Amino acid sequence: MTASSLAGVRVVVMGLGHFGGGIGVARWLVEQGARVTVTDQASPDKLADSVRQLEGLPVQFRLGGHDVADLEDCQLLVVSPAVPKDRSPFVAEAVARSIAITSEMNLFLERCPVKRVIGVTGSAGKSTTTAMLGAILRGAAEALGAPHVFVGGNIGQSLLAELPRMDARDVIVLELSSFQLEDMAALPWSPPLAVITNLQPNHLDRHKTMEAYAGAKLNIARYQSADGRVFVREGDEVVAEQVRAIGAGDRLVRFAFDSRWSDVLRLPGRHNRDNAAAAIAVCHHLGVDDALIRRGLADFHGLEHRLEFVAERGGVRYYNDSKSTTPASAELALESFEAPVIMLVGGGDKGMSFDGLAARLAAVAKAVVCYGQTGPAIHLRVRRSLAEAGGTIPVELATDFGRAVDLARGLALPGDVVVLSPACTSYDMFANYEERGETFRRLVRAMPV
C-alpha cells in the first residue's frame, strides 16, 4: 500500500510497547488518514506513558490482550518486531483471513527515498556503532553533500515522521535487530552498506537455534545489489564464512582497529575499539576524511546504559551496562577494564547458556553478585567453575536488586570497578533495561562520596 492509499484503511497496530516504534507508526498512520486500532498484551496502566503520547489522536485502544474481533474489517496488520508471529493466534487468524501483514520498519523502507543507507546489526555493539556512525556523519554532512543525516531503527525512534524531510542525497544509519531483519525478508531488501559487528547466541527463546538467529541477521546483506558492501571484523572468520555462504563474499569488507585512533576514542574496552573500527571503515568507504572522523570520535562519549560511567564513590568507579542482555556482551564488559571488577549479573531468562560467562567470571572477576530470575543458575555455575579451576573469589546471591548493589559496594575497595552488566533481560524485575539502568544509577548516586 502506498501512503496515499492508506487513507480510510482500517489498520490494526499489534504491539504499542515503550520504545517508540509502535507509538511512531500509530501516529504516522493517523496522519495518512488510516483508521487505527492499537492492541497490546500489556495492561493500560503499564502502557500509560505510551498511551499518553498518542493522546488527542483518533486511535482506538484494545489493551490487556488481543481479541480477534478487532480483525473485523482490518485491511492491514502492523506487527511489532517483538511479537513472535509464528506463535501468535492473533497473527495466525490474520493470515487465515488473508489480511496484509507488515511492520513499522517495512512501511518506512518501502517509502524511503534515501540512497545512502547504512544498516548495523550484531549481537553486541550495534547501538554504539550506529550512534558513533551518526555522530561522525552528522559532522561530515556538508562534505558528503547530505542535507540531513538520520539515525533510527532499533535504536529507539521511528523515522516515518521524517519521510517528508528526506531526499536522495541524505544519509541514514539504521540499527537493525534480528526481529526487524526477519521481517525485512518480505520486501525483500538489504541496506547498500551493512555492518555485522559480531554474532553470538542471542534471542534463542525466539529463534530457537543459532542457525535461525544468524539467518535472520544475515538478511542485512542477503538482498544487496552487486555494488553493496558488508563490513565484518578482521579475524571473525565465522561471520565472514556466513557472509560468503549467502553469496555476498565479493562484497565483503574487513575492518580492524588502528592504534592511531586511540587518542580520540573515549569509550573503554576492546569491543568499543571494534565498534569504532567498523564506523571508521564505513566512513572511509563514503569518502569522509580522517580529520572529520577524528572530530566525530572525540565528540562521542557513548550511550546511556552501555558501559556508561555513573559515578565514583569511595574511590570505586561504577559503570552501568544495563543494555547487556547476553552472556557475550557481559564478557565484553568484564574484559573492558584493567582494574579489578566486581560484576552484577542476572535477570530474566531467555534460554541462553551461562557456562562460558561463568568460566570467564571465575577466571577474571574480583567478585560476582548474582540476582534475579537467573541469579541462582549463574551463582551455581560460577561456583562450579571456581571449584573446577581451584579459584576462590566471593560469589554472592542477592535477594533483590537493591541488595545486589549493596553487596557489590561492600566487596569493592578503592581502585576497583563495579559493573552492572546483567547478561539477561530486565523483565523479571523491571519494565525494560532503561529502568534497570536508571535504578542502578540512582542507587549509586545516593551512596556517600
**Residues 426-435: pLDDT tens digits?**
999 998 999 9
Q: Tell me, what's the pLDDT at 3?
A: 46
The dihedral region occupied by 308, where left means phi > 0, alpha psi between -120 and 50, and beta the remainder, is beta
Residues 6+ apart with CB under 8 A from 175: 120, 121, 126, 127, 130, 152, 153, 154, 155
Q: Tell me, what's the pLDDT at 1?
A: 52
Q: Tell me, what's the pLDDT at 144?
A: 98
Q: Tell me, what's the pLDDT at 265?
A: 93
> Cα-Cα-Cα-Cα dihedral of 360, 363, 367, 369, to 10°?
30
Domain ranges of the chain: 8-102, 107-299, 308-445
Going from the first residue of the chain to its last (449 residues), give the mean pLDDT of each consecutive group of 10, the final group possibly shorter. Answer: 77 87 93 97 92 95 96 97 92 98 97 98 92 97 98 89 97 96 96 96 77 95 98 97 97 97 90 95 98 96 89 96 93 92 96 95 98 98 96 96 98 98 96 95 96
Cα 212 from Cα 168, distance rounded (Å): 34
107-299 and 308-445 agree in CATH topology: no
Is 8-102 in CATH node 3.40.50.720?
yes
The reply to whether the predicted model has a pTM over 0.85 is no
CATH class of 107-299: alpha beta
- What order of strands is seen across the sheet that includes strand 229-233? 149-153, 171-175, 116-121, 193-196, 229-233, 252-255
The CATH superfamily of 308-445 is Mur ligase, C-terminal domain (3.90.190.20)
